[in-house]
Chain A
Amino acid sequence: MAEIQENGNGGGRKKGKQKKITIRVDFTPMVDMNMLLITFFMLCTTMSKPQTMEISMPRKDVKDESEQDKLKASEAITVLLGKDNTVYYYEGLPSENYENTSLMETNFSAEGLRAYLLRRNASIATKAAELDTRKKNLEISDTTYNRELSELKKEKGAPAVVIKASDFATYTNLMDVLDEMLICKIGRYSIVDIEQGDLFLLKEFTKDDSYVVHQEVIEVYEEQ
Chain B
Amino acid sequence: MTAMSDVTVLLLTFFMLTSTFIQKEPVSVSPPQSVSEVKIPESNIVSILIDPNGKVFMSFDNPKDREAALREVGKAYNIDFTPEELKKFSLLPSFGVPIIGMQKFLGLSPEDQDKVITNYGIPCDSTDNQFKIWMQTARQVWSERIQDVVRENPELAARKPQLAIAIKADANTPYPLIRDIMNTLQELREQRYNLITSLRNAPAGA
Would you list which residues of chain A between 111 and 126 have a CB under 8 Å from chain B?
Answer: 114, 118, 125
B19 touches A52 (CB 8 A): no
> Which B residues are in CB contact (< 8 Å) with A175?
32-34, 171, 195, 197
A203 → chain B closest CB, angstroms: 18
CA distance A173 to B173 in the complex (A): 10
Would you list which residues of chain B between 29 and 58 have a CB under 8 Å from chain A?
Answer: 31-40, 42
Whether B158 is near chain A, meaning CB under 8 Å from some CB there, is no
A52 touches B166 (CB 8 A): yes
CA distance A169 to B176 in the complex (A): 8
Known A-B contacts A28-B1, A30-B5, A31-B5; A53 and B12 likewise in contact (beta carbons under 8 Å): no
Whether A55 is near chain B, meaning CB under 8 Å from some CB there, is yes
Known A-B contacts A56-B192, A59-B186, A176-B32; A51 and B37 likewise in contact (beta carbons under 8 Å): yes
> Which B residues are in CB contact (< 8 Å) with A173?
175
With beta carbons under 8 angstroms apart, the residue of B5, B19, B35, B37 that contacts A27 is B5
B206 touches A183 (CB 8 A): yes
B151 → chain A closest CB, angstroms: 29
B175 touches A170 (CB 8 A): yes
Name the residue on A nearest B186 (C-beta).
A60
A47 touches B19 (CB 8 A): yes
A171 touches B32 (CB 8 A): yes
Name the residue on B nearest A46 (C-beta).
B22
Whether B77 is near chain A, meaning CB under 8 Å from some CB there, is no
> Which B residues are in CB contact (< 8 Å) with A172?
32, 171-172
B195 touches A49 (CB 8 A): no
B132 → chain A closest CB, angstroms: 13
Interface residues contributed by chain A, number (CB under 8 Å): 54
B32 touches A52 (CB 8 A): no
Tell me which of A47, A175, A184 has the highest count of chain B C-beta atoms within 10 A of its own C-beta. A175
CA distance A169 to B187 in the complex (A): 23
Whether B193 is near chain A, meaning CB under 8 Å from some CB there, is yes
User: How many interface contacts (CB-CB < 8 Å) are there between A and B?
Assistant: 168
> Which A residues are in CB contact (< 8 Å) with B203?
110, 114, 183
Q: Give the contact stretch, choosing among A36-44, A98-106, A150-158, A205-213.
A: A36-44
CA distance A81 to B187 in the complex (A): 24
Would you list which residues of chain A between 161 and 214 have a CB under 8 Å from chain B?
Answer: 165-176, 178-179, 182-184, 191, 193
With beta carbons under 8 angstroms apart, the residue of B9, B20, B173, B205 that contacts A170 is B173
Known A-B contacts A35-B8, A175-B171; A55 and B195 likewise in contact (beta carbons under 8 Å): yes
With beta carbons under 8 angstroms apart, the residue of B9, B19, B36, B187 that contacts A182 is B36
B206 → chain A closest CB, angstroms: 5
Name the residue on A nearest B195 (C-beta).
A53
B29 → chain A closest CB, angstroms: 10
B25 → chain A closest CB, angstroms: 12
Whether A22 is near chain B, meaning CB under 8 Å from some CB there, is no
> Which A residues are in CB contact (< 8 Å) with B5?
27, 30-31, 34
- Could you show 21 A-B contacts with beta carbons less than 8 Å apart? A27-B4, A38-B8, A45-B21, A51-B39, A52-B38, A54-B193, A54-B194, A56-B192, A57-B186, A58-B186, A58-B191, A59-B189, A60-B183, A114-B203, A118-B206, A170-B174, A171-B178, A175-B195, A183-B206, A184-B206, A191-B182
Q: Which of A's residues lie within 8 Å of B, judged by CB?
A: 26-28, 30-31, 34-35, 37-38, 41-42, 44-61, 81, 110, 114, 118, 125, 129, 165-176, 178-179, 182-184, 191, 193
